[in-house]
């Protein structure tokens, strides 16, 4: 799935991971899954990782529609987007301008985003693994929400590896 989200209720955080070619329909679906998640609150913090995106098939009108018709977040919770290449970075900056919120920032690296969110990477990794073992971490993909028990989805495992690598040393 090119776009998926993980909601941790105890930490009040959402991690949204995108990879490969991402379309408006896929972004709209994962945003709807976040909004419809039981326990989600609009002031949760969010980390959006676009570092694995090869083609972000969105235009300005799509971004405008996403913000005004779909975005479940308020301007209260901090939101960080990681966009490494110039195209995803530029699109993310456009979305930042549309949201017009000091709580929304775009970064070139995962460690920068994690620091700005005031997350501790080791603590975040522990929370994800702990929540997965308790089945209190929810994963949304393809229109369905699943509780994760024990084994983490491959894209979340890969994200945690990049997080550990980027914040170590």
Mean pLDDT over all residues of the chain? Answer: 81
Q: Which fold has domain 3-167?
A: Transcription Regulator spoIIAA (3.30.750)
Min mean pLDDT across 28-42, 85-99, 132-146 is at: 132-146
**Domain ranges (residues) in the chain:** 3-167
pLDDT tens, position by position, 145-167: 444 444 556 666 677 677 666 65
Maximum pairwise Cα distance, the chain: 42
Tell me what percent of the residues of the chain surpass a pLDDT of 70. 71
Report the pLDDT value the prediction gives residue 167, as an integer from 0 to 100: 53
Choose among 87, 33, 82: nearest CA to 59.
87
Dist. CA 72–CA 90, nearest whole Å: 22
Residue 72 has pLDDT above 60, yes or no: yes
Average pLDDT over residues 98-108: 96
Report the pLDDT value the prediction gives residue 53, as an integer from 0 to 100: 94
């Amino acid at each position: 799935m090119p776009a998926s989200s993980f909601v941790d209720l105890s930490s009040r955080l959402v991690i949204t991971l995108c990879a490969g070619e991402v379309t408006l329909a896929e972004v709209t679906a994962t945003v709807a899954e976040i909004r419809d998640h039981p326990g989600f609150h609009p002031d949760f913090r969010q980390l959006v990782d676009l570092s694995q995106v090869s083609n972000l098939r969105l235009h300005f009108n799509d971004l405008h529609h996403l913000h005004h018709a779909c975005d479940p977040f308020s301007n209260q919770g901090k939101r960080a987007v990681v966009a490494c290449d110039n195209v995803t970075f530029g699109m993310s900056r456009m979305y930042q301008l549309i949201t017009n919120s000091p709580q929304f920032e775009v970064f070139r690296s995962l460690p920068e985003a994690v620091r700005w969110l005031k997350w501790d990477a080791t603590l975040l990794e522990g929370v994800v693994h702990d929540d997965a073992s308790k089945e209190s971490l929810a994963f949304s993909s393809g229109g369905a929400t699943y509780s994760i028990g024990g084994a983490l989805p491959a894209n979340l495992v890969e994200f945690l590896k990049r997080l550990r690598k980027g914040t170590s040393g």
